[in-house]
Structure formats: structure tokens, C-alpha cells
Amino acid sequence: MRRENPSQRRSASAVSIRDVAQRAGVSPGSVSNVLNGKRRRDDPIGRAVLEAVKALDYRPNAIASSLRRAESRVIGLVIPDFQNPFFAELVAELERCAEETGYRIVATSSRESADVESREIRELLGWRVAGLFLAPTAGSTYGREHLADQDVPSVIVDRVFEKDLIDGVGVDNAEATEAVMRELIELGHRRILVAYFDDAVSNVAERLDGVRRAAMRRDGPLHVDYLACGPTVESALAAFEKHFDANPVPTAIFCLFNTATLAAYSITRKRGLEAGRDVALVGFDDSAWLAHMTPPIAAIVQPVQVIARRAWSMLMGRIGGGLGPARTERVSCRFERRGTMTPPRNGGMEAGRRK
């Protein structure tokens, strides 16, 4: 009987994760996610990976995996916009977390472009970062899906999805906006203008859901206009100008992102209106300037430090070898009732004339 030459037989330890991926017809990242519990094992991809592992007698090299993660002390971060005060504060807090734990943050901006986002993610992965944070750009799924297929711990911040492919930390957007919208209605507002960025962004869609829930629960007349403003102060100003030219002045303006709040304050002044007297004004996201305006502008405040530190803790857990399915954590906002959270001057549907 002919005996097999051991040198001609590939040992289990010589089988790589890429061999498993090739046999299963998936990416190496998908193999890793199935094996470490971040991805389901009972779907077609999970079953294909497990069958390939069994057929090839693959045995993961836990030591090598740990060394690959340990060799880098750099954490990547891709956000949509450095000029947005929320993201600027988020970057600053994550940098503090990194400094406290011996890591370094490399941050870059997608400029709300899916193409730029995908390029920046690929660049950071090419640097073999130890982990990566991502705030996805509007309407893009590439970043989340691509990171889910990589053997790099990743966490979504701010623009999260429930039951996502990777971990995420955000706020209870719908809960916050529903509460404020109900309060505006209780104050007597019946003509409300809601300004938002883009409902393709997950957190904006959630905020709109909260507004609509509150509006649906109102018995009696209520007129709500929804105004898509684009991402910048300039685009928001243009949208407000067009709306005010064609519609009666609302008794309240509820801005679901911070640049729209600045644009709303500017347009009311330009039209000879005073926020807090002629029109109520509420923004989502706080900035230092809001509290120092005359009158101070009411705002929903996101706990940026809490978001950053929970996201950091979640990422460090994964880098340290933490297993289990992806999870999404939510934190609550608080509402700062300032001088612009006022009842309508003339009540109900009696909005002012066009200005």
C-alpha cells in the first residue's frame, strides 16, 4: 500500500482564510465574521463558510490574528463633514479617548460623497488600521457593507441602523423629535415648518418619523410643511427663501440639523421677524452660539461625549477579541428650552402674511 508523503499533503495549519473564502465564494472578511460570531451561520453565506471550513479542515490561528491587531495603534475615522459642529466635537472626543488608551486617530471626510467615502475607507484599510469608525454619507450603503466584509473591527457612529451588519452607537432621534413636536403643538402651534437635510440619511429619517408620529396624534387642524434644505447654510437659506415667498409665515420652525437652524434664524431676521416673538424656533444639535443669541435658541442636545466614549468602548472590545453579533446602542438626548420655545403670538392656524 502506497503511503502518502506528508510533504505532499497540505496541513490544516497551512490552510489560510483566503483558501476558505475562495472555496466558499465569499470575501475573507465574511469568513472571519462568520467564525467570530459577528455574522449569522444559518444563512447561505454562513453555511457556505462552515462547509468550506469543514472540507479544508481549517483551523484559525488566533495568535496571528491577535498580533495583526496589536501591530497597529492607529484608528481610522471617516465622517461626512469637518465643518459640522457635531462631527467636530465627535472627532475631538474620540481623539481624547485615543490619547488615554495609547492609540492615535486618523480622521478624514467623505464630504457627503459616496465615492469619496469608499476611497477613504479603502485608503485607511490599506494602512492596516487597528479599527475604524464611520459616519456614513447620505444614501450610501457601501461603507457599512464593505466594512462588514473586512477583518477589521468597525463601529458606525451617529447615522446608525437597527440590526446592522456592524456595531453602532447613536441617539434616540425619533423619541427626541416626537417629544419636541408634541410640545410645540401643546403650546398652540398649528402651522409648523420642519426643515431637514436629506431623508436618505438614517438619523434624519428617524427624526422625521418622530415628527410625523407627533403630528398624527394631534386631534384637530394642523398644517406641517416639510422642507428639504441640503447640507449647507447656503442651500438651506435658498430653500427657506423659496418657501417663504410661496407660503404664509409659519408660527414655528423646527430644524432637524444644525446648519438649517442658522439659516432659519437668518431668514427670519431678513424678513423682519423675531425668533421667540413672531415665530418659535427649535434646532436639533446644540452649538455654543445658540445659547448666546438674543433670545437664546432652543435646541435638542446630543450627548456627543457619551456617544464617542460608548463607541470607543465598543471598538476596543472588538479589538480585544470580543465576539457576538453586531449590536446598536442608543443614548437619550436632552432638550434645552430657551427663549425661542414660545407659543404663537396670534394662535393656531393664524400665521402671518408672506414676508
Question: What CATH number should be reported for the domain holding residue 191?
Answer: 3.40.50.2300
70, burial (CB in 10 Å: exposed 0-12, middle 13-18, buried 19+): exposed
Residues 309, 163, single domain; the answer is yes
- Does residue 337 belong to any structural domain of this protein? no
Residues 238, 280, single domain; the answer is yes
Query: How many domains does the chain divide into?
Result: 3
- Does residue 134 belong to any structural domain of this protein? yes
The distance of Cα 239 from the centroid of its chain, to the nearest Å, equals 24
Residues 296, 180, single domain; the answer is yes
Residues 257, 142, single domain; the answer is no
Q: Which three cell numbers stand for residue 44?
A: 447561505
Q: What distance in Å separates the CA atoms of residue 31 and residue 18, rounded to the nearest whole number?
A: 9
Residue in the block written with cell 462631527: 87
Contact status, residue 311 vs residue 93, Cβ threshold 8 Å: no
Residues 252, 312, single domain; the answer is no
Range of the domain at 125: 71-170+303-330
Residues 50, 195, single domain; the answer is no
The distance of Cα 120 from the centroid of its chain, to the nearest Å, equals 17
Answer with the one of 17, 32, 60 that is the final residue of a domain: 60
- Does residue 256 belong to any structural domain of this protein? yes
pLDDT, averaged per 10 consecutive residues of the chain (355 residues), comes to 42 69 82 70 83 82 52 89 90 95 93 91 90 90 80 92 88 97 96 94 94 88 94 93 96 95 95 95 91 92 96 93 88 96 74 54
Contact status, residue 125 vs residue 152, Cβ threshold 8 Å: yes
Residues 325, 213, single domain; the answer is no
Residues 52, 195, single domain; the answer is no
For residue 57, what pLDDT is reported? 83
For residue 280, what pLDDT is reported? 97
Can you give the CATH number for the domain in which 40 is found?
A: 1.10.260.40
- Does residue 192 belong to any structural domain of this protein? yes
Amino acid found at 50? L
Answer with the one of 60, 80, 106 that is the final residue of a domain: 60
Answer with the one of 40, 60, 80 that is the final residue of a domain: 60
Residues 75, 37, single domain; the answer is no
